[in-house]
Chain A
Amino acid sequence: MIKTADELRRASVLFLKDVYKAYGPKVVLDNVDLAVRGGELCSLVGPSGCGKSTLFRLVLGEERPTSGEVSVGGKPVGFPSVDRGIVYQQYSLYPFLTVFDNVVFGRRLGHGILGSLGKSREFHDEAMFYIEAVKLAEHKDKFPHELSGGMQQRVALAQALIMKPKILLMDEPFGALDPGVREHLQVFLLELWERFEMTIFFVTHDLEEAVYVGTRILVLSQFYSDGRGNGAEVKRGSKIVFDRQLPRRAGATAVKDRAEFRALIQEIRQAGFDPHHLQHVTKFDLEHPDSFHDLTDEELKKGE
């Protein structure tokens, strides 16, 4: 570890240290450490049930960690608030509002009914700017149910963007879309990310998507071994077992067929998704410069 935790915390938009989360006897997150810098498009994958959504909820502030620290922008997270934007797979949009109203909603809510008086021109221009950025200007008066799934997710992006969050959290945002639309939106997201210099935390179960979209890939997995042994009394949860910087490629999705891309995916599959391939905690592939991992003595214990 090169930097101290304090330095990292200051340099990071999202910072987790020694985070544990247990539901009753079941440990889901087991001593997770993570620092994400501004401007990063950080994707998180892992086998199903590994705790991706749990981690996501901790960052969002819907739940508290059992112990450990979660901060955004240097401050411990509280309940969900404007510094964290969000795009869900479903239910991001309000069905009773048109596209325009959905996008402008955040500005209106933030100012209250009285505070919004006299601001409608300003709000309108701002909302239209983002609606144009997601290329939906001609659909602005439609209701969400009149749009395709891909268009709905673009509205959801505009809706979150208008708040200029410190970090945009995306939970399986393209999970419900057809493959073609999905690829299209991946490219689209990258364009927006570049244009607006966003920091994005992107959770998905699709490995290919994670590697394609991310500038950094994190793998959360319960398949590893450590000094605590394999006894029935050991309640092991998931850790980040793989953390690498990814080369930023030009938008084309053709890279997905390239050999190095496939090789990386194979590597990740083995590191995080194979229940029989148990890497020891000290051997994790944590090459990313911001990666750090404070192991407990228990976990480091030799033997067995």
Chain B
Amino acid sequence: MKIVIIGASAAGISAAKTIKTSEPDTEVVIISKEDSVHSRCMLHKFLGHERDAKGISFIADNFFESSGITWLNNTTVIGLDAQKKTVKTHDNQDISYDKLLIATGASYFIPPIPGLRESKNVYGFRDLKDAQLLDNECNTAQNAVVIGAGLVGMDAAVAMLERGLKVTVIEMTQAVMSLQLDQKSAQAYQQLFEEHGAEFILNDKVVSVDVDEVGRGKTIHLASGKAVPADVIVIAAGVRPAFNFTEGSGIDTNHAILVGDDLKTNIDDIYAAGDVTGIAGIWPNAMKQGRIAAINMLGEKLLYEDRYALKNTVNFYGLTTLSLGNINPEPEENCEILMREDRYNYQKVVLKKGVVQGVIIQGNIGGTGFWQYLIKNKIDVSGINKDVFSLSYADFYDQDQNTGEYRYAV
């Protein structure tokens, strides 16, 4: 059997590994438009000159050779023929498959703001290529502007601060990382970034960019009337699943590629995994989906049930935060909000009828892995006779007698 995987990142590589471990005789071809395999989550380490390109790889040097996988890098897929079971590449190859995995992730977009798209010094922060181009700019630029204070924007900001640039972050909402944090935990990061020289303009919007005679965006105008000078601009205003090449193939999509719990699309033999499915935009889930899709492509039936996506960890300047679930409930949701604070820690638990809806743990996040289980599985903790902040896995302790593995007693 020949399995073709489009995408050589979290989902694609984890699928390939799984296939080669379970059924080594399967022919595996990975196609990717990039020339290297790297972890996007470490791009800021590259841009900040903490690591080189090799240092942000997440696979062994000889991964493809040693696992017997064919890798077509620098190759962009531009079409898909589900009848003939082939994919077309930019250099006009038709590559046939028995089973296909689409693991093409997501790509950023530049909002249609006058002057912004036209500016030559506007970059996304998604691929190593983006980081390399930005790296070049950082050698000469003084003023950097980051549009969007989500996790990606903050990653870009931290790296450019590291490089000694003056960094201004512009954000539409009233706080940084507003998807992951509440006001208080966000404030702690904002302060840390400010101490390192960043400036934040919150509750404001870019309305236009002045482009100079050589096509570079120079001044960013905001809705408030403020004008911010820029030598380099990073756009971090969100990403979209990347699947242009499926047009006309008959694959069902909305804003993402639609898959069932087996991660198969509406077309037999075509599966999708990772950011391209729109289920979750984080690395662990992309890896897991890749793995499950691979197992299913090999003929088994394993379901991906982890559609729960609201989870993240944040670590900037040594301040760590775990954020899970619904952390900013609306008043009409009638949630109970418990908070605890000391000099080094801020903790918040959102409860509804005894079931944990969300948590923020800022400071010491050691041993907090059990919270995700409680939230995902909607475990009622009201029967446990203790303070919710002192819960741990010990309250659900159970073991499999044969294997010695832990289980949850709930």
Q: Do A and B bind each other?
A: no
B residues bordering A, Cβ < 8 Å?
A: none
